[in-house]
């Protein structure tokens, strides 16, 4: 059996996990953000996004990229 609990963004997840794991009959407590959607502003302002963009810039600057033919790109995006 499974129980779903939706939490606010500022919820104390570690405390809630500890609290739930002490209740008799609870086998495990898993935290998932699969239903969480992020705005473009949240993505752009995240630390991870900044690191990925910097890595991409460095790879391009160092010539570490692959150019694809127009035919391949058209086939991927089904452009005729």
- Closest to 30 measured CA to CA, from 11, 12, 15, 17: 17
How many alpha carbons lie under 13 Å from residue 2 in its C-beta half-sphere?
A: 3
pLDDT at 40: 81
Q: In whole angstroms, what is the distance from residue 9 CA to residue 18 CA?
A: 18
Tokens of 49: 């996004």
User: Rounded CA gap, 75 and 11, in Å?
Assistant: 46
> Residue 62: pLDDT above 90?
yes
| Residue range 13-60, pLDDT digits in tens | 888 888 888 888 988 887 777 767 778 888 888 888 989 999 999 999
Residue 35, pLDDT score: 67
* Residue 29 CB partners (closer than 8 Å, separation 6+): 17, 20, 21
Structural domain boundaries in the chain: 13-76
Residue of higher predicted confidence among 5 and 36: 5
Q: Can you give the pTM of this predicted structure?
A: 0.40
The whole-number pLDDT of residue 80 equals: 61
């Amino acid at each position: 059996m499974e129980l779903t609990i939706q939490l606010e963004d500022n919820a104390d997840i570690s405390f809630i996990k500890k609290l739930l794991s002490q209740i008799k009959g609870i086998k495990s407590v898993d935290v998932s953000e699969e239903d969480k959607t992020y705005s473009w502003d949240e993505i752009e302002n995240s630390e991870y996004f900044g690191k990925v963009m910097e890595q991409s810039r460095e790879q391009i600057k160092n010539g570490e990229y692959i150019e694809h033919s127009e035919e391949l790109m058209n086939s991927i995006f089904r452009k005729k």
